[in-house]
Amino acid sequence: MTDIADRRLPPSTARRLARGLRRDWALYGALALFGALVLLAAFGPLLWPIGPLEMDFAATLAPPSLAHPMGTDGTGRDIFARFMDGARVSLSVGAAVVLTGFVFGGGLGLLAGIGGWTADVLLMRIVDALAAFPPLILAMAVTVGLGGGLHTAALGIMLSTVPFYARLIRSDVLRLRGQTFIEATTALGARPSRIVFRHLLPHTASTMLIQSAAVFGYSILTLAGLGFVGLGAQIPEPEWGAMITEGLQYALTGGWWVSVFPGIGVLIAVVTTNVIADHVRDRIDPRGQQLGVV
């Protein structure tokens, strides 16, 4: 018997969806910028001959040039090499935060949504306790309590994102449980695991996509903020927030490039992920609310 809850786009809609994606230059531009950032983070340090911690006191505060595309800092370290290493750090932490929040926060929200009244109350009170603190303050408190540094900063950011996922997934699951196709599938005797993995989770995909993009941008900004105030990565570790802090002392003396290029990296990473998620969500929303095609 064909599962009555299966959802497929008709061929005409699928063709219009493909045409819409082909015309979406904003999406392709964001993908190109983000892809370039990922390639620099993954392969740039392997190909660039200068290390991020190598000092050249004969070339301190050198402006951007062919030898140093992003200039050098006050101790002659190459900003381009540090930028690429900082991209690796920031993107890795962002991906780890998204994965952790998805697994733990999403898991809490799913269990609260399908587990009945008792499970809902108990699990959401845990989430409420975490959400009682502003996310940045919670991340700072965890970082300070565990001694500071890049790894503790990442852990603090991970913990602060759990409520984001848990509340959204819980509300989505509770809404979906009242839909006709879920009730019909249950009446046909489908196992709970089948309902969860075949019907509930796929229909939360667009919500999770947008939330993950927001969390990814938040994690990069928060990591940079913690590094900026000295709680995250420590100078001279190549991390964008710490690099911006280090560059402030040279900004008034003409060394603008020391802090500007790491700031551009943060901007690109945050904006492109949100643009990609928004444009893709508008076309793959399983509820068909915003196909974004004509």
pLDDT in tens, 172-184: 888 888 778 777 8
Entry pTM: 0.80
Instruction: Judge residue 17's burial from the number of C-beta atoms within 10 Å of its C-beta, 0-12 exposed, 13-18 middle, 19 or more buried.
Output: middle
Whether 289 shows a pLDDT value over 50: the answer reads: no
Domains with residue ranges and CATH for the chain: 32-42+77-284 (1.10.3720.10)
**What local confidence, expressed as pLDDT, does residue 279 receive?**
78
The residues, ordered by sequence, that sit 6+ positions from 22 with a Cβ below 8 Å of its Cβ are none
pLDDT in tens, 23-61: 678 888 899 999 999 999 999 888 899 999 999 888 899
Whether 11 shows a pLDDT value over 80: the answer reads: no
CA distance 290 to 65: 46
How confident is residue 135, by pLDDT bands cut at 50, 70 and 90? confident
Whether 19 shows a pLDDT value over 70: the answer reads: no
For the chain, give the percent of residues with pLDDT over 70: 88
Paired tokens of 215: 């969390």
Single-letter code of the amino acid located at 247: G
**What local confidence, expressed as pLDDT, does residue 252 receive?**
79
Which DSSP letter does residue 256 get? Answer: T
How confident is residue 285, by pLDDT bands cut at 50, 70 and 90? low
Apex 284 CA angle, 286 and 178, nearest 5? 15
